[in-house]
Structure 1
Amino acid sequence: MNRHSERGRFRMSAPIVFLMGTMFLTNIGFGVILPTLPFLASHLGATPFDMGLAISFFAVAQLLSSPIWGILSDRVGRKPIIIIGVVGYGVVSALLGIVPNLPLLLVLRFFAGAMAAAVFPAAQALAADHTLPKNRARILGYMGSVNNIGFIIGPPVGAFLAVFGVNVPFVGVGMLAVLNGMVGLWLLPRKANGRQQILDGTNTTHTTAEYDPTDLIKIMRPWAILPFLCASLFGAIADSSIASTLAYFITSHLHSTPLVTGWAFMVNGGTAALIQVVALPLVYRRFGETPAIILGFFLGTMGYVSLGLAGHVFIALLSVMVISCCSGLVYPIIASAISIRTPRNSQGRSFGVQQAANSTGRTLGPMVAGWLFTIRPSDPYFLASVLMAGMATFFLIESFRKRNAQVAFQSEDVAHDSSK
């Protein structure tokens, strides 16, 4: 009965509901702009290389600014950083619609990435502030699910708005983001920051310590969150092989149509969203953190190998579904693991560092995948499978190491009690 009431209170929390709405609307904005950006670049006379620069500028800005925004969210609060990020991204996106030349387009894409980077670490930290550790993977999975759904909805919305002009989708995203920020001013708690009273695993509240400059060093201890940061980095590199080469793989290597490519990306996002809502809570509760991560990376290994070997588009779509099961399981659990291992007043900076790891992977991944694709179309996916297998092996070895250490500790306790 108590657990049921706890879950109900958790689901009805206004900050959590708003965060999901914020992530949903923000990813609709991403989905609207990404398919429309090439048309704007073409309107300005940009080349495909220039288009690649525009995407890279966004990722580099996220890489550089995510840790800074995370630290600021611990210092000044989650709410102002989220509002600044959402509204700032909207304003910059609207300005993209009236950009007159390529250099200014690149500058605005950089600032768009910097503003977007403010949203995710602060939003994840606020979710961690308002959830118990045992519920954290579930709520982060829900947030990931609405991210995927928003990204799926975005492209058709962008295509519809583009009928009225190439500039209209950008202005529409800007208006949506500003409206989202205004709602956030009303719904987010006034003291949504790293020093507020927050929940811990004992279902009680504690006031976090004041800011300590050494906290960032503490959370970077190798066996605290570093393995999970590596998992985020390698996972982002693998994911970017899908984002950057799947369309070419399906159309040129498998000789299919752009329509099937669109279906493949919808399958990718939709399957991950479904896994995060339905399967993630069950798997996490049944098996625990490390076994669930191992299972996810194992699925990723099988999915990428299958995609690399695919000779028919149907096999490719099934492989993408398996890969999506991996991302749907692993990445919310990784974010939860980082949060649980981080001091309460350092949640923002730890998520900022994780976002920087993701951005690094999404900056390096497309370049590596594009180069490998020119050698052989299946090579990007074989590389991704090696990365997935490596992470699965690492966490499996770590699981055995911890189990053996626990058995040895219990044996020492038994021997000590017997000697008495």
Structure 2
Amino acid sequence: MKKTIKKQKAVLIILLSNIFIAFLGVGLIIPVMPTFMNIMHLSGKTMGYLVAVFAVSQLLVSPLAGQWVDRYGRKKIIIIGLFLFGVSELIFGIGKNVSVLYLSRILGGFSAAFIMPGVTAYLADITSLQERPKAMGYMSAAISTGFIIGPGIGGFIAEYGVRMPFFFAAAIAFLACFISIFILKEPITKEQLAEISAKTKQTNLISDLKKSLNPLYFIAFIIVFVLAFGLSAYETVFSLFSDHKFGFTPKDIASIITISSIFGVIVQVFMFGRMVDFLGEKKLIQLCLVIGAILAVASTVVSSFLTVLVVTSFIFLAFDLLRPALTTFLSKAAKKEQGFVAGMNSTYTSLGNIVGPAMGGILFDINIHFPYLFAAVIMVIGLGITVMWKEGHLSESVAK
């Protein structure tokens, strides 16, 4: 019998803190990147490549990290991920040339590939099927909160030096790593790990990708891709779109993103579990895709600050609810293969994060409305795919 979330508060807080710190570190550097770009005389193309190389390295390592989570244990992979994250931020902070920055971003991608599946699998191990949606909602809220307060903290710390946010991110990552070593305990036994490892030993990236084509997983993974693609494309062009079309200032744009994100976090923490209980994962995912598609189109016709804020808030909410709903579905379907599923979840997310911004930028150059209209089309396709999603497959899997 697994303990309830209430009885595992300390472990839950550490796990959520770890994922929070990783995404806080990402947000911390946002305010200083333009200054950093000017100091080092970097082109916009180079900055774009620095974003892409993070996602590419995460993509390549995620399947391996998923296997290692099942083979060596959740705790070890989380600790390695935190350590790599700290090293990557430290290197970026002291970097004086582009090659060093690329090395930092590659290590950052590795760290994300380790931390995400490690924490996801750990949470799945320590929670019951009934409480798992709540736990995944907490994790998604921790990710969103990191993004929300990261830029604000980064801007404040940057007053003491443009490189200070990187050093701060490194420090808190090393602290989280140290605490995790002494507080976290491996959630499954060596015997269970050996049993899972025996199944994963002969697998590799190609075999894992083939395995992800299993109808039980594939539709969910495709929607993971759609989510990452749509959200990254939307976020990539949002500030450009707002500036070009409405003349919004950076303060206006920051206010919209912050308010929208806080709204999403509040709903995730207090409502997500109830919404899953009432609708089920499949219906909630479909509802979010419908709302996202409609509001993506609406984004091209609204004009006032208030209407942009409302539309953006509900689009972000749709994406924020999609993420934990999909993660919950996959963790239920995975049974003992939590590492594999969490790793492939990260892989398909990375694919979306690579393709989404690239397509968004290309379409924006053609017409500023096209990225949003294209995102709507992608979400409608995703909705169509869910129609083929047989919930019976899931119940059969859980019952086995």
Partner of 1:202: none
Q: Distance in 1 between matches of 2:81 and 2:47?
A: 24
Matched, 1:266 2:258: yes
How much is the aligned-residue C-alpha RMSD, in angstroms? 2.4
Distance 1:291 1:51, change over 3 A: same
Letter in 2 for 1:375: I
Partner of 2:6: 8
Q: Is the 8 A contact 1:194 1:348 kept in 2?
A: no
Letter in 2 for 1:59: A
Matched, 1:228 2:227: no
- Superposed counterparts of 1:3-402, under 5 Å: 6=4, 8-9=6-7, 12-189=8-185, 191-192=186-187, 209-213=196-200, 219-344=211-336, 346-398=337-389
CA shift, 1:336, in A, is 1.2
Q: Distance in 2 between matches of 1:208 and 1:295?
A: 38
Q: Is the 8 A contact 1:275 1:328 kept in 2?
A: no
Letter in 2 for 1:102: V
Say which is worse superposed, 104-113 or 354-363, in terms of deviation.
104-113
The share of aligned pairs that are identical, in percent, is 26
CA shift, 1:210, in A, is 4.8
Q: List gaps (5 residues or longer) in structure 1.
A: 199-206, 407-420
Q: List gaps (5 residues or longer) in structure 2.
A: none
Larger Rg: 1
Q: Distance in 1 between matches of 2:229 and 2:197?
A: 36
CA shift, 1:35, in A, is 2.9
Partner of 1:203: none
Q: Distance in 1 between matches of 2:5 and 2:162?
A: 45
CA shift, 1:332, in A, is 0.5
Letter in 2 for 1:386: V
Distance 1:120 1:373, change over 3 A: same
Count of residues in correspondence between the two structures: 389
Q: Is the 8 A contact 1:85 1:115 kept in 2?
A: yes
Letter in 2 for 1:371: I
SS in 1 for 2:130: helix
Q: Distance in 2 between matches of 1:107 and 1:21?
A: 25
Q: Distance in 1 between matches of 2:246 and 2:189?
A: 50
Letter in 1 for 2:214: P
Q: Deviations over 1:129-169 (max 9, x none)?
A: 11112221221111110111121111111111111111111
Q: Distance in 2 between matches of 1:231 and 1:61?
A: 21
Q: Distance in 1 between matches of 2:177 and 2:29?
A: 19
Q: Distance in 2 between matches of 1:49 and 1:287?
A: 44
Q: Distance in 1 between matches of 2:175 and 2:335?
A: 33
Say which is worse superposed, 286-295 or 171-180, in terms of deviation.
286-295
Q: Distance in 2 between matches of 1:209 and 1:306?
A: 47
Q: Distance in 1 between matches of 2:314 and 2:322?
A: 12
Distance 1:196 1:152, change over 3 A: farther
The two structures have a TM-score, normalised by structure 1, of 0.87
